Structure 1
């Protein structure tokens, strides 16, 4: 597993203070404006300010991941959410689903490794962008991890900001949008891939001193 970087943001800390984030559009395409409350779903994206509206036009709701438009620490962009739900962790770890104690141990252990996993995914995404002719440079993106920040499990978010200069340049917008497609493809192939599963199996083996997990 990759060495943890201080550049990985803590989603739980961000979520603890509403002034640090706002979700403009959820994964269902529903719009939320500041001051209307989380329960107020607004129809019509014409109500969105320029940057959230621009970011929304790059969202792929059919990517296989939850994609939302958010402002995080003052930057507005597209958040691609990778969910490691408790059921997936338990099934992959081959832990008896009726044994909550054992499940909690491995779920918490896996959650503690999220920053290192996020670094591995970030490095892979950067390499994929570097190897893509359509991307002349590696667009800036941020990795965030959230231990138990989703009702169903842990999260890793890849966040691609859309800045004011993106609005003034079609080429820059296209590059950001293309980078999102590369991120989606990489995550689809690797977020739940062999390396992640092998690491989870290793955690189980180390914690419970059991034979190799995941081998048939």
Structure 2
């Protein structure tokens, strides 16, 4: 895999949205997980929203399965779909149960999809329903790739928190890094033969999804301020 501004598509797409991408690992939500100071209600809200987001993310991947152009592509997207349904969703369910056990259930009403979650999932499903499999790959990549980069940035200094540490360990694992690298390599190969206009369109999709990633983190912090105030309890 090549790197740098003159490298493959994924490097070029990331550099095009560097003003957002480079700030993701330093988002207050992420830093709060790493040092253990993130209020439990804020984290619980995030995981609850993520459990509403992930099934729609999986459905976008399912569209890529149906639009696959080869048996190999079919197998790859099928494996990605299984990872979300059988690994990431259960992992989020465990984290939600754990934070509730440790700090109490801070969501007294039924969890509903927040506007930020709806915006992100609607965008993914719109791309998945109207575009080809390569565009779907560009839309789903920022979520998978950014989580790996965030986790690797902080895993060395993340405190031994009974809930948050698992998040970093999961996304900083060698197994996850292999999945992430595979997604990037496939995108670079898929885009290599496209003309400049097609590449620019895919860079735009990647950028839109990256900005929606930032807004997802922002949504959880904003909810915490509104619902819990600055004195929200910590785990």
TM-score by length of 2: 0.29
Q: Which has the higher contact order (CA 8 A, sep 6+)?
A: 2
TM-score by length of 1: 0.31
Structure with higher strand content: 1
